Amino acid sequence: MRLMIASDIHGSAFYCRKMVDAFEKEKADRLLLLGDLLYHGPRNDLPREYSPKEVIAMLNSLKEHILCVRGNCDTEVDQMVLEFPIMAEYCLLEMDGQTIFATHGHVWNPQNPPMLKNGDILLNGHTHVPANEQFEKATVKCTYMNPGSVSIPKEGSKHGYMIYHDGTFEWKGFAAV
C-alpha cells in the first residue's frame, strides 16, 4: 500500500489544492490526515487562502480514500460537514509488519506516549515541524515521526507531507510558490 500522510491543513484552500494534487501525482492508495483540517486555531495566523468551505469540498471529493484522526482544532461541527470520520483520537495501522500509532499529537506524543512496544512508530502532526527521531520511555524504544504542516509550517520547515511505501517513509515538500 502507498500511503500519503499529511497534517494541519487549517482551512487553507491554497495548500489543500497542493495536497490533493500531490495525492493524485503520488498515486497513493490512501490519505492519512493527522487532524486540524478546517480551523486555523487561536495561536496561528490565518493561512494562505483561508477558506474552510473550499477545503470541505476538496476533502469530501476524496472521502473514500481518507483515514483521519481528530486534531485539537477539529470539532463535532466540522464532522457535520465532512463526509468521512474525523473524531477518532488515534488510528492503529499495521503496515509491512510495523505498528504505527497515528494521532494528532496534542494528547499522545513523545513526552506522553501511548502504550507502545519496542520498535513501534508514533506518528503525530500538531507541532507543524517534520520529525524522525528515536525516543525511549521506560525500557521501550520507539520512533517518533511528524510530516510537518500542509499550510503553516514552523521552525523554518517547508509546506509538505510524507509518503509511506514498502516499509519506507519519505518527507516531501510542495513546489515553491
pLDDT for res 25: 96
pLDDT for res 44: 81
Please say if the pLDDT value at position 177 is more than 70: no
Give the C-alpha separation, 109 to 174, whole Å: 26
Please say if the pLDDT value at position 175 is more than 80: no
pLDDT for res 96: 86
The predicted model gives 6-12 an average pLDDT of: 98
**Of 26 and 44, more confident:** 26
User: What are the φ/ψ torsions at residue 135 (nearest 5 degrees)?
Assistant: -145, 160
The predicted model gives 73-96 an average pLDDT of: 96
Lowest model confidence (mean pLDDT) among 28-32, 99-103, 136-140: 136-140
Q: What is the mean pLDDT of the chain?
A: 95
Nearest to 6 by CA among 144, 122, 147: 147
pLDDT for res 29: 97
The CATH homologous superfamily to which domain 2-173 belongs is Metallo-dependent phosphatases (3.60.21.10)
Distances (CA, A) of 65 to 4, 23, 35, 61, 157: 10, 10, 15, 9, 27
23 pLDDT tier (thresholds 50, 70, 90): very high
User: Contact, 37 vs 74, CB < 8 A?
Assistant: yes
pLDDT for res 137: 86
